[in-house]
């Protein structure tokens, strides 16, 4: 191998880097990925790389970034990966490679103290959280970063945190009297001067909007952008480019009107409060006309129920109009009042456009109900063209990477979703793990179809038996919260400790799972991806059904209708690719290390009996497949014997 630090030579057995990596083994896929990224950065090219579990993709892109000295933005979908990059990978690699780069983690506005809103809350005599503010005050006087994660005195109180932070809606921008000392401004300036910036996907898209708020842009000076966890990009972009009007936005507006009321003074003060109370009542009435509970509801303007809802929406729109009229008369008194006027007008305009029958054909209107509120969504059906324009405005290298991008060997769905041409170079690097030795897939032959009346009982009986063989040590992954709740109740008498999503924060559940060593964790969406448990604590992953999204989901419904209208195949275009990627994510929880062993139990016979099952099978790691329970018992028996022999050697 070459000794060039920007080529495979840096990964050689005698290199400073590999000497410091305990138990490191040369991975050709990692070297190839690193070379591809070096070439992309040097040539300002766009490339797509799927790196299977165990390739070491973060090191593969960090090494060329650090050794070439390019200015690069690294965008992630999760806080866990940001923490891994900032706390572990970047510090280690800089030491090992003998390089020093200016690295900055840029967080969203809501993670920094807003001095203007903190001082406003302190002066609000009606605010019942002023005692907690007093405990935070010493930190406010001392902090240089304003990063709330550094404030030990800050209670985990969402209401308090919301009072002392700003959002895109509530930030005053350059009009803020605290702009010169703003922590967000300081953080962005540091990021603009840094060589490596770690951010998240939403913040990257928001960089467009920030130009208008006086915060500057990060992208124009970047040589490259690495989008890690890129399978989330289209989903995050749809949220960012969509629009919402929610009960929470209304409630926060009313709260801030009350906080600013003293600045209005006199009769204007009373009129504003009365107008705000009218908005509050109209918002509550609107929620009262919708079904109870948490639901996602497709919008159909032609129904009788829609007519009632539109009438209540019009009443809320009128109330916002009255509040805007009151704010218009006092907006010149403070920047806060001026900004409240803009927020009120913004909500009024979005509300007025929401739900109209003649909506843009590329969008879908839908409702999301929570326990106490409602969110009115307008979601684009496709964001590829917007992402293409976003990318073309910035002539730098663009690298999209994840462990799960393709369906089989086909990247076309991902390329379309993120606005990339089919000619873009795509590299697929399989996992280096020995799945034939390490894993076994079990699809029980005795199980009925998932829609059979007795399916759930019989599936959980299979799970119980597998848990006896594995000794617990299991993730039970479900495609719905309803199935998870039923399973938690049915399995409550297990001899193994049961950890159930929702009973504690996900991070705490994972911590307990690894501490116990033989626990059974039941999870839904949160545990299908981004969870890394290595070693003997996890030896069984059970998936109840193929993870097709509910056809009742309003956004999926709209995409299916759009595909059908243009003569396409909705199942092949909309439903199957998403389910395959989700299945790959869930199955990927099992083998995280070259020493891991375990069984993947899939309780859905469609994987074998339906023609589309081949799309799933060709996308999963190449491991042995059995329909026979005795082969699963034999697998775990061999595993226990090997563990006992290993323990005996250690004991000697």
- The model's pLDDT over 293-338, given as tens digits with 9 standing for 90+, comes to 888 999 987 787 888 888 999 999 999 999 999 999 889 888 889 9
Q: What's residue 209's pLDDT?
A: 55
Average pLDDT of the segment spanning 75-97: 92
Q: Is the pLDDT of residue 3 over 50?
A: no
Residue 453 falls within a domain, yes or no? yes
Residue with tokens 């999963």: 620
**Reported confidence tier of residue 264, pLDDT bands at 50, 70, 90:** low
Same domain, 369 and 518: no
pLDDT digit string, tens, across residues 385-399: 999 988 888 889 999
Asked whether residue 459 falls in the same domain as residue 607, the answer is: yes
- Asked if the structure places residue 221 within a domain, the reply is no
Contact 441, 588 (CB under 8 A): no
189-213 average pLDDT score? 81
469 and 601 assigned to the same domain: yes
Q: Do 269 and 352 have their domain in common? A: yes
Considering the domain architecture, whether residues 325 and 467 belong to the same structural domain is answered as no
* Domain containing residue 542: 435-650
Q: Are residues 374 and 464 in the same domain?
A: no
* Percentage of the chain modeled with pLDDT above 90: 68
| Residue 639 within any structural domain of the chain | yes
CA-nearest of 398, 359, 447, 383 to 629 is: 447
Is residue 353 scored above 90 in pLDDT? no
Q: pLDDT digits over 57-68, tens only?
A: 999 999 999 999
- CATH number of the structural domain spanning residue 560: 3.40.50.300
The residue with greater pLDDT, 213 or 378, is: 378
Task: Please indicate, yes or no, whether residues 484 and 362 belong to a single structural domain of this protein.
Answer: no
Residues 503 and 355 in one domain: no
Q: What is the mean pLDDT of the chain?
A: 90
Taking only the tens place, the pLDDT of each residue in 7-26 is 446 877 777 787 777 767 77
Residue 7 lies in a domain: no
Last residue of a domain, one of 336, 351, 380: 380
What total number of domains does the chain contain?
Answer: 2
- pTM equals 0.91
Please state, in angstroms and rounded to a whole number, the distance separating the CA atoms of residues 336 and 331: 8
CATH number of the domain enclosing 268: 1.20.120
At residue 358 the predicted structure's pLDDT band, cuts being 50, 70 and 90, is very low
**Confidence bin at 524 (pLDDT 50/70/90):** very high
Q: Is residue 480 part of a domain?
A: yes
Q: Give the domain-ending residue among 337, 365, 380.
A: 380
pLDDT tens digits along 400-458: 999 999 999 999 999 999 999 999 999 999 999 999 999 999 999 999 999 999 999 99
pLDDT of residue 592 exceeding 80, the answer is yes
Between 41-50, 254-263, 629-638, the lowest mean confidence (pLDDT) is in 254-263
Pairing of strands 46-51, 498-500: unpaired
Pair (482, 614) in one structural domain: yes
Q: Let me know if residue 211 belongs to a domain.
A: no
Which of 380, 407, 423 is at the close of a domain? 380
Report the share of the chain in percent with pLDDT over 70: 93
Which letter, b or e, does each residue of 365-376 get, where b requires 16 or more Cβ atoms within 10 Å of its Cβ?
A: bbbbbeeebbbb
| Residue 350 neighbours by CB under 8 Å, 6+ apart | 243, 244, 245, 378
What pLDDT does 130 receive?
74
Residue 497 is assigned to a structural domain of this protein: yes
Q: What share of the chain is helix, strand, coil (3-state, %, to 5)?
A: 50, 15, 35
**Whether residue 520 is found in the same domain as residue 641:** yes
pLDDT of residue 33: 97
Same domain? 364 vs 441: no
Domain-located, residue 71: no
Q: Are residues 495 and 644 in the same domain?
A: yes
Q: Of 156, 483, 517, nearest to 499 (Cα)?
A: 517
């Amino acid at each position: 191998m070459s000794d060039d630090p920007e080529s495979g030579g840096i990964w050689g057995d005698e290199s400073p880097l590999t000497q410091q990596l305990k138990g490191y083994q040369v991975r050709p896929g990692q070297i190839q990925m690193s070379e591809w990224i070096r070439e992309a950065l040097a040539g300002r090219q766009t490339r797509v790389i799927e790196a299977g579990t165990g390739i070491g993709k973060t090191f593969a892109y960090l090494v060329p970034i650090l050794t070439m000295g390019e200015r690069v933005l690294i965008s992630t979908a999760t806080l866990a990966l940001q923490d891994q990059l900032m706390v572990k990978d970047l510090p280690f690699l800089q030491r090992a490679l003998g390089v020093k780069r200016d690295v900055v983690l840029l967080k969203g506005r809501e993670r920094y103290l807003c001095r203007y809103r903190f001082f406003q809350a302190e002066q609000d005599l009606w605010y019942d959280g002023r005692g907690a503010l007093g405990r935070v005050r010493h930190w406010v006087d001392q902090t240089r970063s304003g990063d709330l994660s550094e404030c030990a005195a800050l209670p985990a109180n969402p209401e308090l945190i919301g009072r002392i932070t700003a959002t895109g809606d509530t930030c005053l921008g350059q009009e803020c009297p605290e702009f010169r000392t703003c922590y967000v401004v300081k953080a962005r300036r540091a990021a603009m001067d840094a060589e490596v910036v770690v951010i998240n996907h939403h913040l990257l898209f928001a960089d467009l909007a920030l130009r208008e708020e006086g915060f500057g842009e990060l992208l124009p000076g970047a040589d490259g952008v690495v989008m890690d966890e890129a399978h989330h990009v289209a989903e995050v972009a749809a949220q960012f480019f969509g629009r919402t009007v929610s009960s929470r936005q209304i409630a926060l507006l009313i709260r801030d009107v009350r906080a600013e009321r003293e600045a209005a003074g006199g009769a204007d003060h009373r009129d504003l409060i009365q107008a705000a109370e009218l908005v509050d009542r109209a918002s509550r009435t609107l929620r009262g006309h919708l079904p109870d509970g948490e639901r996602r509801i497709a919008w159909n303007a032609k129904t009788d129920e829609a007519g009632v809802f539109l009438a209540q929406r019009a009443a809320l729109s009128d109330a916002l109009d009255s509040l805007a009229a009151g704010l218009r008369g006092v907006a010149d008194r403070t920047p806060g009042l001026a900004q409240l006027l803009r927020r009120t007008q913004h909500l009024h305009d979005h509300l007025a456009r929401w739900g109209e029958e003649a909506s843009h054909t590329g969008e879908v209107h839908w409702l999301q109900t929570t326990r106490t509120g409602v969110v009115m969504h307008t979601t684009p059906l496709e964001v590829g063209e917007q992402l293409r324009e976003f990318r073309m405005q910035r002539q730098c290298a663009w690298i999209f990477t994840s462990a799960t991008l393709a369906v089989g060997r086909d990247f076309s769905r991902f390329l379309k979703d993120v606005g990339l041409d089919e000619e873009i170079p795509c590299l697929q690097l399989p996992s280096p793990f020995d799945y034939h030795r390490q894993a076994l897939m079990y699809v029980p032959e005795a199980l009925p179809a998932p829609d059979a009346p007795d399916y759930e009982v019989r599936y959980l009986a299979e799970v119980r038996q597998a848990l006896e063989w594995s000794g617990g040590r299991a993730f039970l992954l479900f495609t719905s919260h309803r199935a998870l709740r039923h399973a938690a109740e049915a399995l409550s008498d297990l001899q193994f400790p049961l950890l159930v999503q929702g009973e504690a924060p996900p991070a705490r559940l994972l911590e307990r799972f690894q501490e116990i060593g033989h626990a059974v964790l039941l999870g839904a969406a949160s545990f299908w991806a981004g969870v890394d448990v290595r070693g003997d604590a996890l030896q069984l992953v059970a998936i109840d059904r193929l993870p097709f999204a509910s056809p009742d989901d309003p956004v999926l419904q709209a995409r299916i209708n759009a595909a059908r209208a243009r003569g396409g195949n909705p199942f092949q275009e909309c439903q199957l690719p998403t389910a395959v990627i989700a299945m790959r994510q869930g199955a990927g929880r099992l083998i995280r290390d070259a020493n891991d062993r375990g069984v993947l139990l899939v309780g859905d016979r469609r994987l074998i009996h339906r023609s589309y099952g081949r799309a799933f099978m060709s996308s999963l790691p190449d491991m042995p497949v059995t329909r026979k329970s005795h082969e699963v018992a034999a697998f775990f028996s061999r595993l226990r014997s090997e563990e006992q022999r290993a323990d005996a050697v250690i004991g000697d």
